[in-house]
Amino acid sequence: MGGPDTIGKHSHNAIPNMPTLGVNERALAFAMLHDRNNSIVQYSVDTADGQRIVPSLSDNEWPALVNKFKSNPKEAIATARLNVFSIQQDTRLSEADRTARIERYVRAFLDLQVKLDIAAFPNIDKPQSGVPEYIPHGLIDMGSDLTQDPARRSREMLHVDKRRMFAQTAKNILKYFQTPNTDSSSDAAKLSVVKNVAALVYTAMPYDKAEAATYHTSKRVVGVHEAFNERLAQCRHHALYTQVMLQALGITSRLFKCDVDFGRGRFESHGANLVRINNKWYILDATNPDVKDGIGEIFMIPMNESDVDPTSLKGKEWVAKKKDGSTVKYRSRNDMYYTIRH
């Protein structure tokens, strides 16, 4: 799997002018650029008129932020996320003001990610190979067979439209930020986020292989959000949606292209995710929840640290038993092609 620059290295476009940013977006952008985890609660008050002075990104700092975001988008997003969380610890706010402020900053947090994606990872028409570590707004997953005639493709191409995906999950994301948690970076908090995202994905996007295959025709470019709306999804929709959500919520994670054997003695093409919790990597399969007493629970498989080395993440296998006694075997691969079209 490629690192953060896997996407950006293919484009040498000049950085576009800064888009229109609201005051909340500018505050989060300032924090991203200057590595301030709680700058939006450390505002000062102008003694002349009592107005709050919030740190703000200047227009001429935009190129530096775009370059920094391009280098490590996940770290920049994590910094902004910590700023939004820090509002809960601002004792100067009434409960009503705190609630309203969190809502404004969550909207800004999501909008800013899309704007930075567009600036840092411009359109790419020539297909790129490999599995990008970071999924930007506009990425089109073309599958694993570039030579296939588009009219005879085995599946549709998938388009990541974060604006629509964030709109679909805005209430879930807002609830996450409204939940009091003084240590949002703890392993327990991370595991809670992963559980909630996986549950959202496999509940909101039921897996139905036959019906989904009929709906997602091979000639179409289908937005991942469409699978969410239609409630017809397969593993690739689950994996991309999960990755976008985990990225937005500060979880170290990667898209995981693999083959899977659900105990039938044959491997099938599959998509899942890798997540890092407690200094350890796990396979997270949102398509394949662990069912106990009729209730789906998160299904995760621990991996060795060396197994996630991008240079060797092909052809390795992991075997795990589910709570119902069945065995699942995963075999990694890294064949994927993608373009970007905002």
Run of H or E residues at 125:
strand 124-129
Of 281 and 49, the structure prediction assigns the larger pLDDT to 281
CA angle (194, 243, 249) in 5-degree steps: 55
At residue 275, the pLDDT reads: 94
Question: What does the pLDDT average to over 220-244?
Answer: 90
Q: Quick one: which of 140, 193, 137 has its CA closest to 166?
A: 137
Contacts of residue 65, defined as CB under 8 A and 6 or more positions apart, other chains included, come to 29, 32, 33, 57, 76, 116
- C-alpha 277/C-alpha 208 separation (Å) is 30
Of 238, 285, 244, nearest to 261 by C-alpha is: 285
Write down the H helix ranges in 205-295. Answer: 209-215, 224-230, 235-248
Residues ≥6 apart with Cβ < 8 Å to 92: none
Q: Which of 10-14, 102-106, 202-206 has the lowest mean pLDDT?
A: 10-14
C-alpha 41: how far from chain center: 26
Residues 39-54 pLDDT 10s = 888 766 555 665 667 8
Domains delineated in the chain: 17-120 (no CATH), 125-340 (3.10.620)
Tell me the mean pLDDT in the region 186-209: 87
Render the burial of 74-110: b for 16+ CB within 10 Å, e for the rest: bebbbbbbbbbbbbbeeeebeeeebeebbebbbbbbb
Q: Which residue has the tokens 């805005």?
A: 170
The one-letter code for the residue type at 279 is N
Q: What is the mean pLDDT of residues 158-179?
A: 94
How is 14-51 classified by DSSP, letter by letter? PPPPPPP--HHHHHHHHHHHHT-TTGGGS-EE-TTT--
What is residue 164's predicted lDDT score, i.e. its pLDDT?
A: 98
Q: How confident is the model at residue 206 (pLDDT cuts 50, 70, 90)?
A: confident
**Distance from first CA to last CA of the chain, Å, rounded?**
23
Mean pLDDT for the chain overall: 85
pLDDT band for position 333 (cuts 50, 70, 90):
confident
- pLDDT of 166 > 60? The answer is yes
Name the least confident of 16-20, 69-73, 293-297. 293-297
Confidence of residue 7 (pLDDT cuts 50, 70, 90): low
Tokens of 128: 């790129």
Query: Residue 323 has what pLDDT?
Result: 85
Kindly compute the dihedral angle of the four CA atoms of residues 53, 167, 100, 75, in this order, to the nearest 10 degrees.
-50
Which pLDDT tens digit goes with each residue over 55-112?
A: 899 999 999 999 999 999 999 999 999 999 888 888 888 899 989 999 999 999 999 9
pLDDT in tens, 255-279: 999 999 988 889 988 999 999 988 8
- Sheet strand arrangement including 253-261: 300-303, 280-284, 268-277, 253-261, 327-332, 317-321
Can you tell me the distance from the alpha carbon of 142 to that of 121, in angstroms, rounded to the nearest whole number? 17
Enter the pTM of the model.
0.90
